[in-house]
Chain A
Amino acid sequence: MKTFKVLGGGCRNCEVTAQLIEEAAREAGVEIVLEKVTDMAEILGYGVMSTPGVVLDGQVVHAGGIPAPDQARAWMQG
């Protein structure tokens, strides 16, 4: 079970990022929990200033744009 957080103020790019992760998880058959974080205090709490950002199990793995599908697939490994 992997825990994902998508950091971002709810703009279109954040939606796309969340969908991308859900799709990659479905493809890989990995069970995930995905939470969209829109609270600015929490987003900045992760040290992320450029959204959308992605947090995987407490670690910031991406920030500043929509991640590449390859990247999302890689997050499902291991």
Chain B
Amino acid sequence: MFDALGALIAFQLLHLDPASALGAAVHFFVMDVAKIFVLLVVVIYVMGWLRAMLSPERVRDFVRGRPDWQARGMAVSLGAVTPFCSCSSVPLFIGFVEAGIPLGVTFSFLIASPMINEVAVVILIGVLGWKLALLYVLAGLAVAWFGGIVMQRFRPERWVEDYVWKIRVGETPRAEPDRSLLGRHRHALGEVKEIVGRLWRWILIGIGIGAVFHGFVPADWVSENLGGESWYRVPAAVLVGIPLYSNATGVIPVAEAMLTKGVAVGTTLALMMSVAALSLPEMLILRKVIRWPALALFAGVLAVAFTLVGWGFNLIA
């Protein structure tokens, strides 16, 4: 359906040649814009209806006081289903520390949250198929789980800023959310507006890059320079992803274009994870609560983990 829409606009309305680079790029762009935005609106609306107000405050109450492995399991899975604005990572971090949740568990949460979310997963399924979506989710959960454990080994407590330990989280009465049908509809609609309003630029940029890649970069060049089995492709993809920052949803069209041109699955997954979860702005925000050594370690652990994931998938594939 979306394929046909792309063809209609690119080839019949604009009279582009399907064999030309521009024709292929425009076709890709129209198709992906339609597909991703339709999926986006539907998923967010449905999730807005279903989500029983799963806030980080609730997550914290769930996780506190559990044995380590249980806490980590919850932190990772709740991190995967709770979206939060990246500017929340500081209060979130402090709130977790104050609840006595181990720092390693907190890091697991901070890794899982930007990397996996229901919006990205559904769009992954729609664009790249459920197998790749499943691989991405499993790899993301594994990285979050073990990344947190490795971080804990380095005793990151010593790098937490002193003031963090002194803050006490208070309890204030909360207004009850409106659970009527109309209230849920309003909430869902609000979520759609807010999230689409926040993400559309990233997604358009991602689709644009994907379209240019799809239309103008020849498959031969790709297989020569980005494809193949050479071991250094994966760490190179991770390094490229660090300065680049986008929402997980925005990288999907880029990954789609790369895969169709024959870039290896592991290399593509490594780039996706690196772009979504390892970002300089995010790191700078976390600098308010932890010192440089912990940040460098965090970036290092993630970079190594993404590289291992990429190698693993390239080996299997």
Name A's B-contacting residues (CB within 8 A).
8-14, 40-41, 43-52, 55, 58-68, 70-71
Contact = CB atoms under 8 A, between A and B. Distances in A.
User: SS class of chain B's interface: helix, strand, loop or mixed?
Assistant: helix
A71 to B, nearest CB: 8
Nearest to A10: B87
Nearest to B173: A59
Interface stretch (B92-100, B146-154, B253-261): B92-100
B170 A59 contact: no
B94 A40 contact: yes
A65 B169 CA distance: 19
Nearest to B189: A68
Interface in B86-115: 87-88, 90-92, 94-95, 98
A60 B173 contact: yes
Given A13-B85, A63-B55, A47 B91 contact: no
Contacts, number: 99
A45 B169 contact: yes
The size bracket of the interface on B is 20 to 34
Given A46-B172, A49-B55, 5 more contacts: A44-B169, A48-B91, A49-B92, A63-B57, A68-B193
A60 to B, nearest CB: 5
B229 interface: no
Interface in B157-192: 163, 166-175, 186-187, 189-190
A49 B172 contact: no
A71 B37 CA distance: 26
Contacts of A51: 85, 87-88, 91
Nearest to B85: A13
Given A9-B87, A66-B194, A68-B186, A47 B171 contact: yes
